[in-house]
Amino acid sequence: MTTTCCTSARAGSQFVKDFMGTLTAANPHEPEFLQAAQEVVTSVEAVMEKKPQYLQGNILGRIVEPERAFQFRVPWVNDAGEVKVNRGYRIEFNSAIGPYKGGLRFHPTVNLSILKFLGFEQVFKNSLTTLPMGGGKGGADFNPKGKSDGEVMRFCQSFMSELFRHIGPDTDVPAGDIGVGSREIGYMFGEYKKITNTFVGILTGRGLEWGGSLIRPEATGYGCVYFAADMLATRGETFEGKTCLVSGSGNVAQYTVEKINDLGGKVVTLSDSGGWIFDGDGVDAEKLDWVMHLKNNHRGRIEEYAQQFPNAEFHSRNDSLDHNPMWSVKADCAFPSATQNEINAVDATNLLGNGVYLVSEGANMPSTAIAQDTFVDAGILYGPAKAANAGGVAVSGFEMAQASQRLYWTRDEVDARLRIIMSSIHTQCVDAAKEFGCEGNYVHGANIAGFVKVADAMIAQGIV
């Protein structure tokens, strides 16, 4: 084996090819999981040379296998009295450094591959936060969009009536993700409390009145912008005057916009699954309030933005194109905050061609492998998701700490701690990349730094 830290995920040495060949044969229908695994295995190959105990202990072979995975039936009754059924999952990926921790996603595209990729990424992300949290992920192929509150409640109750037996404050602590916000967390928490007759921190993202933490809703978006600010600082720059592209218009996107505005930048795009808007004047605080109201209270469509603010343009989603024209808007920075693989190779080239030199990923794995290599090869400031969006789970960790102490920290205290953790993640990425000879490569930096801590814990705990 030769040390090839700076090879891209595409290049791959013989070691990576052999490993991925075996993994692919074992998981042939899981492209997202294989994509996430290939990236990490490529990054950590060089670490194997320095720490032969990882090879002897077959750490890679063990770390790509979830410790436990559940799939279950979720029956529920809709408003018309019809019996519906969805498929629920929980992947308990790795508990070497703490209880399983990671969100629940309710979206029609949810399947085992997507949840395994998310759970796998979560292992390294949680390790980077410096907090004692293992990695997990779960969800269901249920679409909350267009459902009444009653239908969502009955679904959440049915989902929790099975999930409850697998989770616990010291075992596995789920949170929200796409399609799971404060409403869904509330319904699931209520059901857990009723079944078990306990009021404990088994879910994070709870309401402030019932065990939640200040800044949890803001944390992923704020953290992603803090990480970007640290990347800009390496070049002596700030957000002042920067034009930014943000995709999505959900939780992560909303607070990404808020923090960019706070720091003097201007956001000119937002999107949802129906299309995207361009607002050359910028999505200022007042417009952002309107978007939050639209999305969080009315569950409306981003298309309505252009009706409300006539200077803005709406562009419908067009899947017949080989690229998303939103990523061709002239800008300095991009914050993909919607979903996985939303930036493909053409989009990445278009972003670079239109002036973008910083990408900070709010969504999980929003760039395809080739798009990611395009950014790394171009030498731009590219903050991969597992580092840049770790702020959400970090504040979930704070929520767990506050819940077990039965006290609340102030908004300023949580925000200050979040800021410190994002800087620490940035430093870990920079230092690990430097140590392994690929300075400035945040992908390798994040993967190596996240991996080493988990691998050392696995070695210490024996073959379990």
Within 8 A by CB and 6+ apart from 249, the residues are 270, 271, 272, 291, 295, 302
Q: Which residues pair with 360 in a beta bridge?
A: 383
333-335, strands of its sheet edge to edge: 313-316, 275-278, 266-272, 243-246, 333-335, 358-360, 381-383
Q: Which residue reads 């998303």 in tokens?
A: 324
One residue of 178, 245, 267, 326 binding ligand NDP per CB under 6 A: 178
Confirm or reject binding of residue 126 to ligand NDP (CB under 6 A): no
Active site residue 50: no
Residue nearest ligand NDP by beta-carbon distance? 250
From 155-163, 361-369, 404-412, 448-456, span contacting ligand NDP (CB under 6 A): 361-369
Confirm or reject binding of residue 119 to ligand NDP (CB under 6 A): no
Confirm or reject binding of residue 338 to ligand NDP (CB under 6 A): yes
Q: Which is nearer to ligand NDP, 274 or 353 (CB)?
A: 274
Confirm or reject binding of residue 364 to ligand NDP (CB under 6 A): yes
One residue of 392, 397, 445, 450 binding ligand NDP per CB under 6 A: 392
Rounded distance between C-alpha atoms, residue 85 and residue 77, angstroms: 9
Binding mask 293-312 for ligand NDP (x = CB under 6 A): --------------------
Q: Which helix (DSSP H) or strand (DSSP E) does residue 270 occupy?
A: strand 266-272
Confirm or reject binding of residue 337 to ligand NDP (CB under 6 A): yes
- Which 3 state secondary structure label does DSSP give 2? coil
Confirm or reject binding of residue 127 to ligand NDP (CB under 6 A): no
One residue of 220, 256, 372, 402 binding ligand NDP per CB under 6 A: 220
Alpha helix stretches (DSSP H) within 129-214: 149-163, 182-196
Q: Which residues pair with 343 in a beta bridge?
A: 367
Rounded distance between C-alpha atoms, residue 297 and residue 442, angstroms: 37
- What's the closest the beta carbon of residue 322 comes to ligand NDP, in angstroms? 16
Residue-wise over 300-319: b if at least 16 C-beta within 10 A, else e?
bebebbbeebeebebbeeee
Confirm or reject binding of residue 179 to ligand NDP (CB under 6 A): yes
Confirm or reject binding of residue 252 to ligand NDP (CB under 6 A): yes
Catalytic residue among 137, 147, 259, 266: 137
Planar angle of CA 37, 418, 99, nearest 5 degrees: 50
- What's the closest the beta carbon of residue 82 comes to ligand NDP, in angstroms? 24
Confirm or reject binding of residue 318 to ligand NDP (CB under 6 A): no
Confirm or reject binding of residue 250 to ligand NDP (CB under 6 A): yes
Confirm or reject binding of residue 176 to ligand NDP (CB under 6 A): yes
Tokens of 282: 């910028």
From 75-83, 92-100, 243-251, 327-335, span contacting ligand NDP (CB under 6 A): 243-251
One residue of 38, 127, 213, 249 binding ligand NDP per CB under 6 A: 249
Work out the widest C-alpha separation in the chain, in whole angstroms: 63
Confirm or reject binding of residue 389 to ligand NDP (CB under 6 A): yes
DSSP 8-state code for residue 327: G
Quick one: which of 81, 74, 202, 231 has its CA closest to 150? Answer: 81
From 39-47, 83-91, 166-174, 247-255, span contacting ligand NDP (CB under 6 A): 247-255
Which residues of this chain interact with ligand NDP, rule CB under 6 A?
A: 176-179, 220, 248-253, 272-274, 337-339, 362-364, 389, 392
Catalytic residues: 137
